[in-house]
Chain A
Amino acid sequence: MNATMLMQTIASGLVMGLIYMLIALGVTLLFGIMRVVNFVHGELVMLSAFAVYFMTTAAGLPFFVALALAAVASSVVAVFCQYALFSPLQYDILNCFIVGIGASFAIRSASWAIFGPEPIAIASTLPGVLNIGGVFIAKQRLLAAVLCAGLAILLAVFLRYTRHGKAMRAVEQDREAALLMGVNPTSVYVTAFVISAVLAAVGGAMLGTLFGVDPEMGAEPILKSFIIVQIGGMGSLLGTVIAGLFIGLTDSITGTLLGGELAFIFDFSILMLILIVRPRGLFGYDA
């Protein structure tokens, strides 16, 4: 592997890492705040992608308008899931996991039945490829990377400097104390679901332009999200960001160097290692 190939691999890896990171942020938010492992998150990614696809093709809406509408729709679905599925189970971690799996199977199957089998893709908003000294970066990928990074920063700002954000962090760190301080848990939970839904929508739209739209598209991101969130530390924003980039890079490097199959083993071996050496992840709180 020469220098150009290495640069190419790194560039590709960072971009992918950012996209997975965005989706993982949604997962970490929900877990940090209410200890819910939201399996339906992957389907929100998928449904948003379909929504954007149909709105840009059938309804002819411009991409970012479609994206905004999809984000709204995604939030509605997420809050619906919250009240229909997770809340009745009192956010019990195992039960929510199972019900999330059931719901995700059902949604996926329904999508197959409704949307039919043909692979489709959302048209690129920014076609063309940049060539920087032998390293190729598709412009659409760059756009996705910038968007994901931007949203992550926005989220960080929101959590650190706004009232709502601080309330969320308070609940995350110590629920009882937050309640004693007068924080309204319901509004915090709903906000968390909405934010994660919006992140999922953007992630889905990006994935849809880069990799096409199909009912199974949520499966891999959600699995990767779990790995990322675990390595970074459940509930830690910074951890998720770093872990996301790390996973993106690792995937890319092992995939290019060793071939796709070994990369698969590698990911999980690293996860196991980190979990054994430092169970709470890089930046996580103690369980």
Chain B
Amino acid sequence: MLIDRRKATMLIGGIAGTLVTGRASAANKEILIGGSVPLSGPGAAIGITAQRTFQHAVELINAEGIEVGGDRYTLKANFYDNKYVPAEAVTVVEKLLADGTRFLFSLGSGNSVPVVAKTTAAKCLQMSMASGKSHLTSPEFPLSFRVQPTNETAWAVYPWLKTARPNVKKIGHMNPSDEAGFTESDDRTMIAEKNGFTNIAKEFFKRGSTDFYPVATRLVAANPDLIDLGGTIGRDQALGCKALRELGYKGEIMLGYSDARSFIEVAGASAAEGTILFDTLAEPQNQKQKDLVDWWIKTYGPPFPSFACTVWDAPFVLAEAIRKAQSADPVQIAKVMTGMEWDGLFGKSRFGMKSVYGIDTTITRPIPMAVVKGGKPVQLDIVPWPANV
């Protein structure tokens, strides 16, 4: 067992072999979807939720199968951990492409943006849940679709704000100091201004911070009527809200992407009281939504993460596009998906926003609004997508 040159070469060969072989090749009737999501580290919360929800949707789709020509296709989703680190995301995509995957589901703009040039060149259809503007959504990337309205929700929410909270005039913004946060901040301030509001404060914090007092102190001192925590997620937004209230802020607070129950628990019921939650489903409003909630609780127990609602449509849309295109070729499918309409979890949805990005590849759909009352999320309104965007 002496290690000599023979063994050394075998060792390298062995490692090489393991990396090269042993992966499922694209079977005839199987469509491979790769998932690049954070399964560890910050962001694991939404990553794990996304994986579970996506896989369940795929199960339901496969029960019926997808008819293309005379063949019956099924979807197979392989999820990898990108740890919310760009280099890992790149490695994950390399692996997926080498595996023969032609469809990518990617979570987080830090993970989606660095790989979009690669997926486009490799003719791989990419569905991203991420904040992003022209570096993710543009005619340059005809195969890149955004399946979550992130910064875009502001297009629907700010007009609604004018009627629902007419006393609000001055807006303060709080966002994480990264890719997603800057995008959110830029977009939201622009959209707020377009709707006649005045932006009086724009603060950033390091994502994953513990102490929000410094940034909250600055915001409270500016004394806005409403503070938009737009790009914040998870623990950050709960702690931000808590800090603001503890420092005596009496105005409105608005945030989204949250799991309402989790937010209320971490922020504390008194701090969370009155917070406006955009794109948050407080109670299931239709049968589809109810089924989703019931399934999660049955499989994983309470509480139900409302983030799952945002993930739900993506695989169904893909399946629908495959049917419509009658092809398993991503380029054909992308052509069909651009501008496509469908009946989604929240109602009539469509890939649109050509007026903003130059191409109809961003999801537009009704935006549910909720508010925290008595320690519980309560449904307020379902805001339809503005017609002119």
Contacts and interface: CB of A to CB of B under 8 A. Distances in A.
A118 B214 contact: no
Contacts of A211: 210-211, 235, 239
A80 B218 CA distance: 45
A260 B209 CA distance: 9
A238 B42 CA distance: 34
A43 interface: no
A90 interface: no
Contact of B211 (A16, A109, A112): A16
A248 B350 CA distance: 49
Contacts of A88: none
Contacts of B234: 119
Interface string B82-109: 0000000000000000000000000000
Contact of B206 (A112, A119, A260): A260
A8 B303 CA distance: 36
Interface in B225-257: 234-235, 238-239, 246-248
A212 B239 contact: yes
Contact of B213 (A121, A252, A259): A252
Interface stretch (B27-35, B163-171, B260-268): B260-268
A8 to B, nearest CB: 6
Chain A: interface residue count, which band? 35 or more
A254 B45 CA distance: 31
A193 B209 CA distance: 28
A261 interface: yes
B259 interface: yes
Interface stretch (B4-12, B46-54, B184-192, B278-286): B46-54
Interface string A237-260: 000000000000001101110011
Given A8-B217, A255-B211, A261-B177, A117 B45 contact: yes
A263 interface: yes
Of listed A8, A136, A260, A263, residue having the most chain B CB within 10 A: A260
Interface string A7-36: 011001000100000000000000000000
Interface stretch (A67-75, A124-132, A160-168, A272-280): A124-132
12 contacts: A8-B247, A9-B214, A117-B49, A118-B45, A118-B305, A120-B266, A129-B248, A207-B210, A211-B211, A217-B210, A254-B214, A260-B209
Interface of A: 1, 5, 8-9, 12, 16, 108-109, 112, 116-121, 124, 127, 129, 131, 136, 138, 207, 211-212, 214-217, 220, 251-252, 254-256, 259-261, 263-264
